């Protein structure tokens, strides 16, 4: 494994390649992402345990989506079993992926606890039940704890951005995979920033289009019914593009196999 340095403009190429690859196999890539979201929704019904399992499986699912993207890029139809790629590399890699998921869950728990403490200390107590949906949203967005939590999530995502792929395809230990993931993000910070900015523009344009569409329909329920699937489709495109940020950041002596 060798860390590669890419030009900043490569970040926009990752966005384009993610969209292009998604459009090669739209039903498969969207279907896999919807399966992931459905599993998270089912797990969320379990108090506490569901959230813990979701966090534990997050690195493995991210790897599965990257593996599916690799299949789609090669012109093959990604099967649902791609989501289980992380658990098909033998006991060592399986234990490593579970360890990685445990570390992710622990870090996420610390952030959530900190945000909860800050929210209690910094935000005024309000009766959200008496608010309209718009007022409740404004109150949430004005909470300092929310923005602090989002800032804390950024280094967490950097640590785990490449870690699952490094562990599975390069045999890097969980702790070292976090280090090399952060190192790769720092080395190619220009490309990664443009990549994230590119997707921010895409989501902003989607928001504008949805607002216009909602006005044309007079704010009917039909607009809401279309908005949610549209957002999920664009999010699945985003996850499709993550594979390319990993592929171009590390060289390999041989083609990775599942």
Instruction: Transcribe 162-231 into DSSP letters.
Output: SHHHHHHHH---HHHHHHHHHHHHHHTHHHHHHHHHHHHHHHHHHHHHHHHHHHHTTS-HHHHHHHHHHH
Q: Which helix (H) or strand (E) holds 115?
A: helix 91-122
**Residue 254 predicted with pLDDT over 50:** no
Tokens standing for residue 116: 């909860």
Q: Phi and psi dihedrals of 127, rounded to 5?
A: -90, 95
In this predicted model, what pLDDT tens digit does every residue of 69-112 receive, in sequence order?
999 999 899 999 999 999 998 999 999 999 999 999 999 989 88
Q: State the Cα–Cα distance between residues 140 and 122, nearest whole angstrom.
A: 12
Tokens standing for residue 145: 């704890």
The counts of H helices and E strands in the chain are 10, 2
Comparing 75 with 191, the larger pLDDT belongs to 191
Report the Cα 6 to chain-centroid distance in Å.
Answer: 22
The pLDDT score that the predictor gives to residue 32 is 92
Confidence of residue 51 (pLDDT cuts 50, 70, 90): confident
**Residue 200 predicted with pLDDT over 50:** yes
The pLDDT score that the predictor gives to residue 99 is 95
Q: Which of 11-25, 174-188, 209-223 has the lowest mean pLDDT?
A: 209-223
The pLDDT score that the predictor gives to residue 248 is 94
Q: Which of 45-54, 136-145, 238-247 has the lowest mean pLDDT?
A: 136-145
**Residue 124 predicted with pLDDT over 80:** no
What's the average model confidence in pLDDT over 137-148? 65
**Residue 162 predicted with pLDDT over 60:** yes
The pLDDT score that the predictor gives to residue 40 is 84
Return the closest-CA partner of residue 58 out of 195, 246, 247, 239: 239
- Coil, strand or helix at 3: strand
Return the closest-CA partner of residue 236 out of 58, 73, 62: 62
Q: Which long-range contacts (CB under 8 A, 24 or more apart) does 140-147 make?
A: 143/119, 144/118, 145/115, 145/116, 145/118, 145/119, 146/115, 146/119
The pLDDT score that the predictor gives to residue 37 is 87
What's the average model confidence in pLDDT over 58-70? 94
Q: Which of 77-86, 191-200, 244-253 has the lowest mean pLDDT?
A: 244-253
Judge whether 50 and 3 are in contact, CB under 8 Å: no
Q: Which of 106-115, 123-132, 162-171, 207-216 has the lowest mean pLDDT?
A: 123-132
The pLDDT score that the predictor gives to residue 125 is 57
Judge whether 246 and 3 are in contact, CB under 8 Å: no
Could you give the angle at which helices 91-122 and 174-187 cross, rounded to 10 degrees?
A: 70
Q: What one-character-per-residue DSSP string does 205-223 give?
A: HHHHHHHHHHHHTTS-HHH
> What is the dihedral sign for C-alpha 230, 235, 239, 245?
positive
The pLDDT score that the predictor gives to residue 198 is 95
The pLDDT score that the predictor gives to residue 137 is 56
What is the four-CA torsion angle of 182, 184, 188, 191, rounded to 10 degrees? -80
The pLDDT score that the predictor gives to residue 118 is 75
């Amino acid at each position: 494994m060798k860390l590669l340095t890419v030009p900043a403009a490569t970040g926009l190429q990752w966005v384009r390649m993610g969209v292009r690859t998604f459009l090669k196999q739209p039903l498969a890539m969207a279907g896999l992402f919807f399966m992931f979201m459905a599993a998270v929704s089912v797990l969320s019904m379990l108090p506490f345990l569901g959230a813990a399992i979701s966090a534990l499986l997050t690195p493995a699912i991210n790897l599965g989506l990257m593996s599916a993207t690799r299949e789609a890029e090669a012109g093959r139809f990604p099967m649902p079993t791609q989501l289980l790629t992380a658990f098909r590399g033998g006991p060592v890699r399986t234990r490593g992926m579970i360890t990685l998921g445990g570390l992710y869950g622990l870090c996420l728990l610390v952030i959530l606890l900190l945000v909860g403490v800050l929210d209690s200390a910094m935000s005024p107590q309000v009766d959200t039940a008496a608010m309209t949906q718009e007022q409740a949203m404004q109150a949430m967005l004005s909470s300092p704890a929310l923005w602090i939590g989002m800032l804390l999530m950024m280094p967490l995502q950097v640590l785990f951005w490449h870690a699952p792929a490094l562990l599975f395809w390069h045999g890097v230990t969980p702790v070292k995979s976090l280090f090399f993931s952060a190192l790769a993000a720092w080395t190619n910070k220009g490309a990664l920033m443009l990549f994230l900015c590119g997707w921010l523009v895409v989501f902003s344009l989607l928001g504008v289009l949805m607002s216009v569409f909602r006005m044309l329909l007079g704010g009917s329920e039909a607009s809401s019914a279309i908005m949610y699937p549209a957002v999920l489709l664009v999010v699945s495109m985003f996850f499709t593009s993550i594979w390319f940020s990993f592929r171009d950041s590390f060289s390999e002596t041989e083609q990775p196999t599942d």
